[in-house]
Structure 1
Amino acid sequence: MAEFPEKDLYAVLGANASDSVQQLRHKYQQLALQFHPDRLVGEETTQLHWAVNRFIEVEAAWRILSDLSSRREYDLQRRGAGVYTHDCRCGGGFSLSKEVLEEETQLMEEDGLQGAVLVCCDTCSLSVCVTHTR
């Protein structure tokens, strides 16, 4: 299995794991136009450097997520790394890392409360309550 960057590639594109390739392409194209070095002529050196790095990051995310087999492999690795995701009815999604869930559960249990975490959809105002038992 290939090693992928630790950064969430869907978040880099401002997308969700449930997005289609066409939706990902649209988000990629918007970001590529926004951060392409040719469009930033005359900007400050630090801002240009940041934009070039952002463009490279967007390009790398698109390269992995646009290919069906590498996207599937990335999704499997992502699930194995402990990122829990669930699609929302609005098309957005809920995501929670295993580490955050365990930390929040431990803090709640130390206060004598049932371990639970409120997770908001990344698109709409819906929330879910995630409980975790050890």
Structure 2
Amino acid sequence: MATIFTKIINGEIPAEKLTEDERFLAFLDVRPIRPGHTLVVTKQETDYIFDLDDETLGGLLPFAKQLTGPIQRATGCTRVGVMVAGLEVPHCHVHLVPMDRISDLDFGKAAEVPANELADMAGKIRAEM
């Protein structure tokens, strides 16, 4: 059965997509830790990041890196934190989280936000790309 991320990749579930190429897709998390929290997923449905082939694994962070400047400018954060937890959805993904302090990387703070707020944030990030 396809993961929720595969359904987003295939357009079966709506998402605030920021950018994509043939191997990766970036979109806003619907349960962000902080506004601008972005997920970067592989289009290849692989559960564990270290099961990716070396070429895909090697391309993941450079793809994610292109989003850090736009996220930082759109949110005004000090840095964009990078986290790989790998337990929430059985599909390889990286969290890009706007942060000003280490405590901003607390998944306990994640909360669903209205679609219009996600759309507004996506527009701000896209404008910075």
Q: Same fold (TM over 0.5)?
A: no
Indicate the structure (1 or 2) with the bigger Cα radius of gyration: 1
Question: Relative contact order: is structure 1 or structure 2 higher (C-alpha 8 Å, sep ≥ 6)?
Answer: 2
Indicate the structure with greater strand content: 2
TM-score, structure 2 normalization: 0.28
